[in-house]
Amino acid sequence: MNSLWEKFLEKGKVENCPVYDMHAHMGTYSRIYFPYGEFDSEKTKQRFDRSGIKLLIFCHHWTLFSPDIGNTANIETVRKLPEKLRAYCGVNPNYPEIIEKDVDEFEKYKDVFVGFKLLADYHGLPITHKNYAPAWRYANRKKLLVLLHTWGSSHYNGPQQIRKVAEKYPDARILMGHSCHGEWDEAVKVMKDFPNVYAELCAVVDDRGGLEKFLDKVGSKKIVFGTDWPWFNHHYYIGAVLDSGLSDEDAHNIFHRNAEKLLEKLIY
């Protein structure tokens, strides 16, 4: 057993093991009641402090689901709690004119954005579609993060589509949100084939076994921690990771070291 479990159990957080949540959201959402849906910077900070969240990177629900609101929701929220928050610039391929504008203005919001978020299963166009190209090219040129919603067997953001963008944009750092959920072996193959592709754990730990497979076949240096917060609770996810039989080194890699490396030149 790793020694971090006892420490997290005792205090809820561990000083030398900060946690970076690389996949989160903010705001209310029509299909779910979130007790912490309404953003309040003090309450949010308190919740993060309970589990040692050092930084959380999100894309606001309203950005993803309303082109009328767009990335304004991300910008306003990060600037209310800049010591704990950064955002992914939300990309909706059904509005290419908004993507072009957001890419043009990306530099203006270096204090807010660390990359892009694509939600192809919901927006209905595969991540390889030409409408995403301005965001992909920019991410590739600037070595930004691109958080994908991915799912096994999806024709929009499944393993086959990830292969195509990973090959075409080798300098973009691609985080497979949900790690091609269910198609764990394919996720392993993609990570092995492409150094710029990482597993992200949101929804992976809902079922025991997926994380263990990643640790065994790919190793902890290719895995980042994420929760879809406020969909899911940080302590729940930290407990799940620590119950997977991993070593302290692996846990440090997953909770913070890999994120620190990925974000090294992206935090201003």
Partner 1 sequence: MNLEFFDANSFIGRPMNGIFKPAQSGRDLVIEMKKQNLSKAIVWHIFQYEGSPEKGNRMLAEQISGYSELYGCWTILPPQTDEIITQDFFEKMKENKIVALNAFPEWHRFVLNRVSFGEFFENLVERRIPLFLTMGRTCITWESLYNLMRDFPSLTCILCDIGIWGVDRFTWPLLEKFPNFYLETSLLSLEEGGLEATVKKFGSEKLVFGTGFPVRYPKAAILELVHADIPDNDKEAIASKNLERILREEKL
Nearer to partner 1, 144 or 199 (CB): 199
Match 């849906």 to its residue by tokens: 37
49 binds partner 1 (CB under 8 A): no
Nearest to 5 by CA among 254, 216, 246, 253: 246
CB of 223 to partner 1, least distance (A): 16
On the 0-12 / 13-18 / 19+ scale of CB atoms within 10 A, 129 is middle
232 binds partner 1 (CB under 8 A): yes
| Among 45, 47, 84, 221, interactor with partner 1 by CB under 8 A | 47
User: In angstroms, rounded to a whole number, what is the distance separating the alpha carbons of residues 196 and 120?
Assistant: 20
Footprint on residues 139-198 left by partner 1 (CB under 8 A): 184
240 binds partner 1 (CB under 8 A): yes
216 binds partner 1 (CB under 8 A): no
233 binds partner 1 (CB under 8 A): yes
Instruction: Select the span of 32-40, 101-109, 117-125, 191-199 touching partner 1 (CB under 8 A).
Output: 32-40
237 binds partner 1 (CB under 8 A): yes
- The amino acid at residue 261 is K
Asked whether the beta carbons of 121 and 152 are under 8 A apart, the reply is no
| Structure-token pair, residue 58 | 């999100």
| Among 56, 103, 205, 262, interactor with partner 1 by CB under 8 A | 205
CB of 264 to partner 1, least distance (A): 28
Mapped to the 3 state alphabet, what secondary structure does 37-95 carry? CCCCHHHHHHHHHHHCEEEEEECCHHHHHCCCCCCHHHHHHHHHCCCCEEEEEEECCCC
50 binds partner 1 (CB under 8 A): yes
229 binds partner 1 (CB under 8 A): yes
CB of 199 to partner 1, least distance (A): 15
User: In angstroms, rounded to a whole number, what is the distance separating the alpha carbons of residues 18 and 252?
Assistant: 8
122 binds partner 1 (CB under 8 A): no
CB of 238 to partner 1, least distance (A): 6
Q: Which DSSP letter does residue 106 get?
A: G
Residue 26: phi and psi, rounded to 5, are -145, 155
| Among 49, 107, 207, 249, interactor with partner 1 by CB under 8 A | 207
203 binds partner 1 (CB under 8 A): yes
C-alpha distances out from residue 156 to 151, 169, 173, 180, 231, Å: 9, 17, 19, 11, 23
Query: Looking only at Cα atoms, what is the longest distance across the chain?
Result: 52
Instruction: Select the span of 61-69, 90-98, 186-194, 207-215 touching partner 1 (CB under 8 A).
Output: 207-215
CB of 142 to partner 1, least distance (A): 31
Contacts with partner 1, residue ranges (CB under 8 A): 5, 8-9, 12, 31-36, 47, 50-51, 184, 203, 205-210, 213, 229-240, 242-244
